[in-house]
Each structure stands twice: as structure tokens, then as C-alpha cells.
Amino acid sequence: MSEHASSVPHATDAGVQRAPDHRRTYFRIFWVLLVLTILEVGFSYLKIDKRVISAIMVSLALSKASFVGLYYMHLKYEKRSLLWLAFLPLPLAGSYAVFLLLDAFNLLRGVPVPWVHQ
């Protein structure tokens, strides 16, 4: 019992700063992601054009992915160069998706393409 009553200062007494508590931020982002997911489900039941719903779903998914990347993967607290390195492939992936869709559209229309031999 006498060991507990020693005169060694505690970490808070020694001027050591504690790490910030991010639980409030994590729960706030959790609620934002939950609301975005509920919006996705709600938009999926609307009777509007499929292209509009697809654009809405892609934008909601990208916003959710950015929240997860920035806060849960801690990219928000990294240097700007690492942030650019993480988000630089996104336009490349988008252009790849566009070219795949254009290729699929041409194949569905029956347009002959040079790399497909019949």
C-alpha cells in the first residue's frame, strides 16, 4: 500500500500532454455515413430515371468513401503530398470506367472493333 502513496508525479502532473480523444469525431462521421446510407436506400426506391439514380448513387458512394478515407484511415492528418498520392488515381479510375462503358456500348450496338476477330 505504501507504493501507491509515493511522491512520483503522475503523467498529467509532469506536463505530458495526452493524445486528443477522437471518439466524438468518429461518432460524428459514423452518423454522417449512416445518413448517407439511408439516403442511398431511399433514392433506390424512387421512380426516376436510372441515369439520375446512378449519378446520385455514385456521388453518395464517393462522398462516403472520402469520409472513410479522410477520417477512419487518418488521411486528413497526413501531409498534403501523401493526400495527393492517395487521391491521384481517382481520375485515372474514372477515365478507365468511361472507356469501358464506351467499349461496352459499341459492342452492344454491333460496331466492329479491330481487336475482336470474328
The dihedral sign for the CA sequence 14, 16, 17, 21: negative
Flag whether the pTM goes above 0.75: no
**Stretch 96-118: mean pLDDT:** 76
Task: Give pLDDT, residue 64.
Answer: 93
How many CA within 13 A on the CB side of residue 39?
15
The rounded mean pLDDT for the chain is 79
Domain ranges for the chain, please list them: 23-78, 88-118
DSSP letters along 58-100, please? HHHHHHHHHHIIIIIS-GGGS-HHHHHHHHTHHHHHHHHHHHH
